[in-house]
């Protein structure tokens, strides 16, 4: 249903739906023509102002008629879910496929070698370097962040600045060391001025993170920050993908045997250092204890 959707304006549904859409446009045009003729017939007895108002109302009604004919696409075929989607939004997860592109590497080393030589990606022109991963490719806990920062750009590894130090402390507070986790980002280069990645940039790097998920095959995925959480939750067609991180942090999502939990980004915690009950740091402490409990339960 979805795989051929992007790039075509009328082939995304069956022929009957397509005909209905064209009929809707023609019907809207006929409605506009009739309304114009009716307005002209009354123009002899009404002022020019009333005539203009009538034409405007007819145009608005016709536009509404045409808009009502357009229906959303559902991403059922790839995700097995009935969550309504607009044309152009697709699902990905462990199959490494998005927007017609598919990555399939025999090993994690082969994937990293190819990623390091990546050319033509959206952020290549910024001059920033490819940031790969750190941690253990054999780990069963995967940590997915948003995008590299300045320090990550210099070292070529994710979460090595102040946010990374805090992330290590959070993981270490429940006994996780670097060898117990695999840490990466959705976007593989640093966006200019550390801005939030654009949607089309995220789409361009999606095949790479999807292939990382497939090869690592983790039990638990920590979605660090809003961009990471929304990107991955969209990929499994979860309606919660539209919610802010404050409403979904600490909530578990299961998909194809993998457990995912959104958490606050360490940079947000650095800006909100309070440890009072209900504060971001206090909630993150609850979340990381939940990760520890889930891992112990799985093992």
Higher pLDDT, 168 or 65: 168
Q: How far is it, in rounded angstroms, from Cα 83 to Cα 153?
A: 37
Residue that the structure tokens 């109302």 belong to: 57
Give the chain's domains with CATH numbers. 108-296 (3.40.470.10)
Residue 167 scores a pLDDT above 80 = yes
Per-residue pLDDT, 92: 41
Per-residue pLDDT, 102: 73
- The answer to whether 288 and 263 have CB atoms below 8 angstroms apart is yes
Beta strand pairing call for 134-135 and 101-102: unpaired
Please, what is the Cα angle at 28 between 24 and 29, to 5 degrees?
120
- The answer to whether 5 and 12 have CB atoms below 8 angstroms apart is yes
DSSP bridge partners of 74: 84
Residue 162 scores a pLDDT above 60 = yes
Q: Could you say which DSSP state residue 33 is in?
A: H
Q: How far is it, in rounded angstroms, from Cα 204 to Cα 62?
A: 38
Q: Give the mean pLDDT of 114-133.
A: 94
Out of 1-15, 171-185, 196-210, 258-272, which region has the weakest mean confidence (pLDDT)? 1-15
Beta strand pairing call for 84-85 and 253-255: unpaired
Q: Give the mean pLDDT of 27-56.
A: 49
- Report the percent of the chain where pLDDT is more than 90: 65
- List, for residues 176-207, the tens digit of each pLDDT value: 999 999 999 999 999 999 999 999 999 999 99
Q: Could you say which DSSP state residue 219 is in?
A: S
Q: Give the mean pLDDT of 125-129.
A: 93
Per-residue pLDDT, 62: 52
* Residue 24 neighbours by CB distance under 10 Å: 16
Per-residue pLDDT, 53: 57
Which stretches within the chain are classed as H helix? 15-41, 48-67, 76-79, 108-116, 150-155, 162-172, 199-216, 226-235, 245-248, 266-271, 280-298
Nearest to 285 by CA among 295, 294, 275: 275
Residue that the structure tokens 């022929």 belong to: 15
- List, for residues 73-106, the tens digit of each pLDDT value: 344 334 433 333 332 233 444 333 344 457 999 9
Residue 227 scores a pLDDT above 80 = yes
Residue 142 scores a pLDDT above 80 = yes
- The answer to whether 228 and 145 have CB atoms below 8 angstroms apart is yes
Q: How far is it, in rounded angstroms, from Cα 35 to Cα 54?
A: 8
Residue 276 scores a pLDDT above 90 = yes
Query: Tokens representing 182?
Result: 């695999």
Nearest to 228 by CA among 261, 191, 200: 261
Q: What's the pTM value of the predicted model, to 2 decimals?
A: 0.70
Q: How far is it, in rounded angstroms, from Cα 125 to Cα 190?
A: 11
CA dihedral sign, ordered 146, 164, 150, 142 = negative
Q: Which residues contact 12 (CB under 8 A, 6 or more apart)?
A: 4, 5, 73, 87
């Amino acid at each position: 249903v979805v795989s051929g959707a992007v790039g075509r304006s009328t082939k995304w549904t069956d022929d009957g739906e397509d005909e209905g859409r064209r009929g809707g446009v023609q019907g809207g045009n006929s409605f506009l023509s009739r309304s114009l003729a009716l307005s002209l017939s009354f123009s002899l007895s009404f002022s020019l102002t009333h005539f203009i108002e009538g034409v405007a109302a007819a145009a608005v009604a016709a536009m509404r008629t045409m808009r009502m004919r357009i229906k959303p696409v559902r991403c059922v075929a790839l995700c097995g879910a009935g969550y309504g989607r607009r044309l152009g939004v697709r699902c990905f997860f462990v199959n490494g496929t998005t927007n017609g592109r598919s990555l399939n590497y025999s090993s994690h080393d082969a994937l990293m070698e190819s990623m390091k030589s990546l050319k033509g990606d959206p952020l290549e022109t910024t001059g920033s370097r490819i940031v790969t991963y750190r941690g253990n490719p054999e780990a069963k806990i995967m940590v997915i962040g948003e995008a590299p920062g300045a320090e990550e750009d210099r070292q070529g590894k994710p979460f090595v600045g102040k946010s990374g130090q805090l992330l290590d402390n959070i993981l270490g507070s429940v006994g996780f060391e670097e060898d117990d986790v695999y840490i990466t980002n959705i976007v593989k280069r640093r966006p200019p001025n550390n801005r939030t990645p654009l949607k089309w940039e995220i789409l361009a790097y999606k095949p790479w993170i999807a292939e990382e998920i497939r090869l690592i095959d983790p039990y638990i995925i920590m979605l660090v920050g809003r961009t990471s959480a929304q990107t991955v939750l969209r990929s499994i067609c979860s309606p919660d993908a539209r919610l802010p991180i404050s409403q979904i942090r600490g909530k578990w999502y299961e998909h194809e045997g993998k457990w995912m939990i959104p958490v606050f980004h360490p940079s947000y915690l650095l800006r909100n250092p309070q440890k009072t009950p209900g504060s971001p740091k206090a909630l993150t402490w609850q979340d990381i204890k939940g990760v520890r409990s889930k891992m112990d339960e799985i093992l």
